[in-house]
Amino acid sequence: MLVFGIRYLNGFVAASEPDDLEKAEWPPHPGRIFMALAAAHFQTGADPGERAALRWLDGSERGGEISVPHIVAPKALLRDTVTSYVPVNDEPIWKPAKPKQKPPPPLQSVPGIMRVRNPRSFARAWLDNDTAWLMWPNLDPPEDCRQVLEGLCAKVTRIGHSSSMVQMWLANGEKIDEPNWLPDDEHATIRLRIAGPGTLDYLEQEYNARAVEDYAKLKVAAETASGNKLRKTAKQRIEQVYGNRPPPQQRPRLSLYQGYARADARSNEIIKPGSVFSLHVITLQLEPDNSSYRELDLSNTLTIVARLRESIISHSNSETGRVRAILSGHDGDDKPLREPHLAFLPLAFTGHEHADGHLLGLGLALPADVIRDERRAVLRVIAQVRQLKLGPLGVWRLMTVTESRPPWNLRPETWTAYPEGATQWSTVTPIAFDRHPKAKNKADQQSELAGMIAESCERTGLPRPREVIITPVSVHLGAPPAHAFPRIQRKDGSERRHSHAILVFDEPVCGPVLIGAGRFRGYGVCRPMDGVHVS
């Protein structure tokens, strides 16, 4: 086994997500750890033995094998992003002297310097434990390679921003907690960058060390060489080879990602009946970015889901037709799919004595039969959506939920009852009916609507409930009554009726339980009543 220990010496991590500089990266991406090792290698002489060890680690020296680590990541408290103003190169604020005007004397030039400051955002997260671990259970490096990696770890002083100071070492016999993040594309809720074969060669190319060093030597020679011929030769080479410009040094961007799932999401085999939707709901947290509202209300579900769906579809153009169909719910001819596709769940603060129904985030449920490559592609698209522009409601950030113990209503199991299941479920958003009831009196209408809901359960792969109770309000504290939700419009302009309901099954079932005509759009979202969380 190969294990890296990483101690964050300041008690926080300062590193940004690669595509969202205002969000702290946690858990640490294995690819970032590899880049820290590579940086230590390049900056301390680029020893050939270290290069060979890093090529072994990225798989280049192991026949192109990709091996990804299990991660032990302590809980992180994401802090608000702080914008600092960082000084750049000095610029004089006095104008060049006229022929008869003397320039300011050297000692007076200090007050005449304007320190131009550019805004920089530094994303940080405070850790409840200062040590993280990356472990490869199936990797066992040769002894000489292990020794080199141990020495290279000792050279790493930071991971991320320069303020994110670390101590890194090769673990040997220490007591380590069980991993809480495991590589698993099927159950993945986050995607982390990893190092694969050729990563070190790519970093070496982007760093461009030889050209940068050669250019620096030529510049020095062009200015300070003892003879005119040497200076002229250096200038000519700078022009011919480099076009009188410094050679490029690119910021590397790793393109290889691995899906990771929480360890507890894979702990039990499914033995309870479930729906056509995957148990492993992807959860995204909502936070105001530029809004006059501190919170969004559950009754705004249709507006928010519609905007999120549009944003996801707009990022899917480069994907296969099958992936676009899963995301949009329409086939290549823009006809609605008959089979399940991506569904949205509003994750609201409900089921607590102080619940007020405000939205904490959004859940995304994929069909249970989506294959691994399709799920990876869907996650890749979803990860590109970082903002929701909601018109009068303002701009809101979407953030992946990565905490080991997130808020109760942001945990998938709260909405799926996984793994035990539940026999009693009640709606948090009302069920939109497939058709208008034909019965004349109220009692018959209630019976007809209950039958519609039972049929809808069967269409989504659930058992037929033993009992369906139509109710104008939700059992779950904090959920608004049905009349507070806007109705879904049909294509002909008419509106669908909707109502809250209680479902009782003969045996425990696992969710997500999404019922009715609005089940893909955030309506008909049910939550288990068994063991309602009230603490």
Same domain, 183 and 290: no
What is the spatial distance between Cα 188 and Cα 261, in angstroms, rounded to a whole number?
4
Same domain, 216 and 232: yes
Same domain, 324 and 237: no
What is the spatial distance between Cα 324 and Cα 525, in angstroms, rounded to a whole number?
24
What is the spatial distance between Cα 371 and Cα 392, in angstroms, rounded to a whole number?
39
Same domain, 343 and 295: yes
For residue 352, is it within any domain?
yes
Question: Would the pLDDT of 157 be above 50?
Answer: yes
Total number of domains constituting the chain: 3
Which pLDDT value is given to residue 110?
Answer: 47
CA proximity to 504, closest of 479, 526, 535 = 526
Q: For the ranges 184-188, 217-221, 282-286, which has the lowest average pLDDT? A: 184-188
Q: Evaluate whether 187 touches 258 at the Cβ level (below 8 Å).
A: no
Instruction: With residue 184 as reference, give the H or E element that holds it.
Output: none
For residue 90, is it within any domain?
no
Instruction: Extract the tokens encoding 36.
Output: 């820290």
Q: For the ranges 107-116, 258-267, 431-440, which has the lowest average pLDDT? A: 107-116
What is the spatial distance between Cα 318 and Cα 307, in angstroms, rounded to a whole number?
20
Question: Would the pLDDT of 322 be above 90?
Answer: yes
What is the spatial distance between Cα 365 and Cα 367, in angstroms, rounded to a whole number?
7
Same domain, 494 and 419: yes
What is the spatial distance between Cα 347 and Cα 353, in angstroms, rounded to a whole number?
17
Q: Find the DSSP H helices in 78-208.
A: 143-155, 199-207
CA distances from 12 to 74, 206, 404 (A): 11, 29, 16
Question: Would the pLDDT of 233 be above 80?
Answer: yes
Mean pLDDT of 90-114: 49
- Adjacent-strand bridge partners of 114: 91
For residue 494, is it within any domain?
yes
For residue 420, is it within any domain?
yes
Which pLDDT value is given to residue 405?
Answer: 63
> What is the domain extent for residue 134?
2-81+121-206+252-259
Instruction: Give 480-507 pLDDT, tens digit per residue.
Output: 999 999 999 988 889 999 999 999 999 9
CA proximity to 344, closest of 475, 514, 120 = 514
Question: Would the pLDDT of 63 be above 50?
Answer: yes
Which pLDDT value is given to residue 103?
Answer: 54
CATH number of residue 195's parent domain = 3.30.70
Same domain, 228 and 290: no
Distance of CA 448 to the CA centre of its chain: 43
Which pLDDT value is given to residue 483?
Answer: 95
Question: Would the pLDDT of 426 be above 90?
Answer: yes
Q: How confident is the model at residue 535 (pLDDT cuts 50, 70, 90)?
A: very low
Q: Evaluate whether 287 touches 399 at the Cβ level (below 8 Å).
A: yes
Same domain, 446 and 405: yes
Alpha-carbon Rg for the chain in angstroms: 29
For residue 96, is it within any domain?
no
Question: Would the pLDDT of 238 be above 50?
Answer: yes
What is the spatial distance between Cα 25 and Cα 22, in angstroms, rounded to a whole number?
9
Same domain, 448 and 374: yes
Name the domain boundary from 259, 293, 321: 259
For residue 94, is it within any domain?
no
Instruction: Give 247-288 pLDDT, tens digit per residue.
Output: 766 667 787 888 888 887 655 555 577 889 998 888 999 999
For residue 308, is it within any domain?
yes
Same domain, 237 and 314: no
Same domain, 66 and 161: yes
CA proximity to 289, closest of 390, 410, 402 = 390
Instruction: Give 121-147 pLDDT, tens digit per residue.
Output: 668 888 989 999 999 998 999 999 999
Which pLDDT value is given to residue 402?
Answer: 64
What is the spatial distance between Cα 428 and Cα 371, in angstroms, rounded to a whole number?
30
Same domain, 281 and 336: yes
Same domain, 331 and 475: yes
Residue in the block written with tokens 């320069």: 162
**Residues with Cβ < 8 Å from 31, sequence gap 6 or more?**
192, 193, 194, 195, 199, 254, 256
For residue 273, is it within any domain?
yes
